[in-house]
Amino acid sequence: MTLGSSDRPLSRAYDLAMLDLDGVVYVGPDAVPGAVESLGAARASGTQLAYITNNASRTAAEVASHLRELGLSDAEDGDVVTSAQAVAHLVADALPAGSPVLLVGGEGLRQPLEERGLRCVATLDDGPLAVVQGFHPDVSWVQLAEASYAIEAGIPWFASNTDLTIPTARGVAPGNGSLVQAISNATGTKPTVAGKPEAALFRETLERFGGERPLMVGDRLDTDIDGAIGADIDTLFVLTGVNGLQDVIDAGVGHRPTYISYDLGGLNEAHAPIQIEGSTARCDGASAQVSDGVLTIEAADRSTSGFRAAVGLAWHLADHSGQHVRLDGTMKP
């Protein structure tokens, strides 16, 4: 398997860009450099932009407001799809209208649950028919314990997402998956999950936006890329978030993105074919070579073609000769 190619910019080849947020559009309070300009150019090309996030701590309106503050002035509340909205849809489909549910999370989860006609409660004594968990920095041991009591009593458990970590302006911190794991450790049970890599968040997005040719854009192989592959959606992997170039090089068949670029600028570029001869690959003037198991790139700084040559060569060697290569340690994307 090799990377896909496109003789047109991806923003013209695909009619819907499904954009992960943390590590792709922004990191904490700040936009990823160049993201606002790249998304403006993609929208001007006619591509719909859907901002989808596994983070359930904020409402869609709060996320859209943040995007507008960053300079994405066209971002509307309805352009944001959260895992909280997706899990609320799942729970509402599973329960009678007006059912009480035990909330483990914050306003970002409470609001979509209530919009689906569900009633949020805080304890097992309130008779919940489901436990619904989503990330919020103020989730406490008391909430986790109450959820555990309810789950042990046989009440079904839903979670917005299971990302073990979340990127912040100060670094990587525990995500909802780490809190889900705490309850799972206590109860021996696993929840029904809505967020990436599960299908519900993708279904929620496509139901809202349509789109005959969607493209998922993400920075995490285990959620963004794996989830989109499972939903039969092409992917663009960017290097501005959690996973790095070596992670992509090491990805096995069935877990590999369709395209790669350093950042969202890759949406507005064509992605040229890759030619491989022996231990060398070339792509639109850039090249990559492997010597003694070490991969080097000869290309302009942060060149999409350079990354394509490197990844294409690494995958070819892994698939055809079982050779696994490591990126030259002096190189930084």
Query: Tokens 């689906």 map to which residue?
Result: 116
Residue 331 pLDDT grade (very low, low, confident, very high; cuts 50, 70, 90): low
Phi-psi category of 83—alpha, beta or left, where left has phi over 0 and alpha has psi -120 to 50?
Answer: alpha
What is the rounded CA–CA span in Å between residue 75 and residue 52? 12
Residue 332 pLDDT grade (very low, low, confident, very high; cuts 50, 70, 90): low
* 173 pLDDT above the threshold of 90: no
Any idea of the CA torsion for 187, 189, 194, 199, to the nearest 10 degrees? Answer: 160
| Percentage of the residues of the chain whose pLDDT score is greater than 90 | 92
* 66 pLDDT above the threshold of 70: yes
CB 50 within 8 Å of CB 209 = yes
Q: Which amino acid is at 123?
A: T
* 167 pLDDT above the threshold of 80: no
Model pTM? 0.92
Nearest Cα neighbor of 60 from 75, 38, 74, 40 is: 75
Which sequence positions are flagged as catalytic? Answer: 20, 22
Q: What domains lie within the chain, and their CATH numbers?
A: 10-54+199-327 (3.40.50.1000), 85-191 (3.40.50.1000)
pLDDT digits (tens, 9 = 90+) for 26-60: 988 899 999 999 999 999 999 999 999 998 999 99
Q: Name the DSSP class of 22.
A: B
* 1 pLDDT above the threshold of 80: no
Instruction: Please report the sign of the dihedral spanned by the C-alpha atoms of residue 141, residue 143, residue 144, residue 149.
Output: positive
pLDDT digits (tens, 9 = 90+) for 104-128: 999 999 999 999 999 999 999 999 9
